[in-house]
Amino acid sequence: MKIAIVTETFLPSTDGIVTRLTASIEHYLEAGHEVIIIAPDLGVAQFGKARIHGMPTITLPFYRTKRFSLPSRKVGSLLKTYGPDIVHVVNPALLGAAGVYYAKKLGIPLLASYHTNLSQYLDFYGLPFMRGLVWLYLRSLHNRASINLCTSRTVREELITRKFRNVKIWKRGVDGRLFHPDRYDPNMRKRLSQGFADKKILLYVGRLASEKEIEKLRDIFNVSNQFVLVIVGDGPHRSALEEYFSGTDTLFTGFLYGEELAAAFASSDVFVFPSTTETLGLVLLEAMASGLPVVAARSGPTCEQVKHEKTGLLFDPADHDGFIAAVRRFEDKRARDAMSAAAYQESFGKGWKEVAEQALHYYWQTAKKGNNSGS
């Protein structure tokens, strides 16, 4: 099968979308399929045997640390030349809109996937009045696809309520060989503990943006001296966060990748996840595969991944005292050890091969339907 993937984000960016795509594409290539990737030009031209066709990029006024690509006629010429059996548009919004348009125009079977809750993000960027328009726009793009994939039951229910058609759940996965308790590294532990060898390490991994509500974590230091905090990642909110956490035992590492990231997970004690705007949060499964119990804000997607009082603790996002109490539960080594073991067990059987095979099944299903089922 010849697969064309049009995505708003790809390497060297790092987030749950890129993790899912790279893991899936590796499997497609190993299975003998051909793949091209059309993505913002961030300096990477090849991923394995898959060619990356980079599109010119711009920055947006409210998000200057990330580069985006606008719709381009070049997408159409690339698709026409390549002649794919299926076009998969990932998170159609800007560049992806061109993928949707030209797939329909050229009569190529089209599948789309939804990964980012853009409408919720608007509240954090002072644009709540645009929510209705954004939903209308996204629905118009997604409903041109024969099948729409999303990453949790909660999101599927919302999309169906908002009249998105043919919505299927795309399973979650984790690289259990990379993210594993055996990745514990005493040197990494020493680095993350910031000289406090007797303290517990709270770990956050993700994009540093206002909608992630990372500020909540600071108040832990007001009530407990048992923890240090490590924040892994980067984003538009980093400088503000560094100032906000100044004077606390907090380490900002920037992005970590591969084995270094795996070592950071396995060498920490508790994973903290205050965001309620995720459509899945793959880092939760990476943390659990590394043997970390989780403290997460209660939301549909987190409830689907974290078993409260077994693999971690879920707190009401509106109950700040409840959040602090949940973190403090892990001052107790017995609680950490019990939930650590359960979290690791929960990650079994969730490899990326099954996730990629599921997507391929939907690719074949879409290709057989042809390009007549979208509007």
Q: 202 and 103 in one domain?
A: no
Give the pLDDT score at 359: 98
- 256/329 same-domain check: yes
pTM: 0.92
**Domain range holding 281?**
181-346
Q: What is the pLDDT of residue 126?
A: 67
151 and 244 both lie in a single domain: no
Instruction: Specify if 375 maps to a domain.
Output: no
**103 part of a folded domain:** yes
For the CA atoms of 295, 297, 298, 303, the dihedral, rounded to the nearest 10 degrees, stands at -50
If asked whether residues 296 and 156 sit together in one domain, one would say no
The order of strands in the sheet holding 312-315 is 250-254, 227-232, 200-205, 270-273, 294-297, 312-315
**Residue 276 shares a structural domain with residue 325:** yes
* Residue 155: inside a domain: yes
277-312 CB burial, b ≥16 within 10 A, e <16 = bbbbbbbbbbbbbbbbbbbbbbbbbbebbbbeeebb
Which residue carries 């409210």 as its tokens?
Answer: 62
Q: Identify whether residues 288 and 308 lie together within a single domain.
A: yes
pLDDT at 32: 98
CA distances from 93 to 7, 36, 68, 139 (A): 9, 19, 10, 10
The per-residue pLDDT for 371 is 57
SS3 content of the chain, % helix, strand, coil (to 5): 45, 20, 35
Kindly report the backbone phi and psi dihedral angles of residue 201, in degrees, each rounded to the nearest multiple of 5, phi listed first: -100, 115
Neighbouring-strand partners of residue 252: 231
Q: What angle do CA 135, 210, 232 make, to 5 degrees?
A: 120
Distance CA(155)–CA(261), nearest Å, equals: 28
202 and 342: one domain?
yes
The total number of structural domains that make up the chain: 2
Specify whether 363 is located in the same domain as 297: no
For β-strands 50-55 and 46-47, DSSP reports them as: antiparallel
Q: Write down the pLDDT at residue 127.
A: 67
Instruction: Say yes or no: 113 and 227 in one domain.
Output: no
Residue 374 maps to a domain: no
* DSSP per position, 36-101: EEEEE-SS--EETTEEEEEEP-EEETTEEEEEE----HHHHHHHHHH--SEEEEES-SSHHHHHHH
| Same domain as 159, residue 212 | no
What pLDDT does 120 receive? Answer: 64
CATH of the domain at 235: 3.40.50.2000
Are residues 289 and 165 part of one domain? Answer: no
81 occurs within a structural domain: yes
- Compute φ and ψ for 280, nearest 5 degrees: -155, -65
Supply the Cα-derived Rg of the chain in whole angstroms: 21
Q: Residue 180: what pLDDT?
A: 97
| Predicted local distance difference test score (pLDDT) of residue 373 | 53
Q: What is the pLDDT along the chain (375 residues), one digit of tens a residue?
A: 999 999 999 999 888 999 999 999 999 999 999 999 999 999 999 999 999 999 999 998 766 778 999 999 999 999 999 999 999 999 999 999 999 999 999 999 999 999 987 766 666 666 677 889 999 999 999 999 999 999 999 999 999 999 999 999 999 999 999 999 999 999 999 999 999 999 999 999 998 988 899 999 999 999 999 999 999 999 889 999 999 999 999 999 999 999 999 999 999 999 999 998 887 789 999 999 999 999 999 998 899 999 999 999 999 999 999 999 999 999 999 999 999 999 999 998 899 999 999 999 999 999 998 755 555
Residues 194 and 342 in one domain: yes
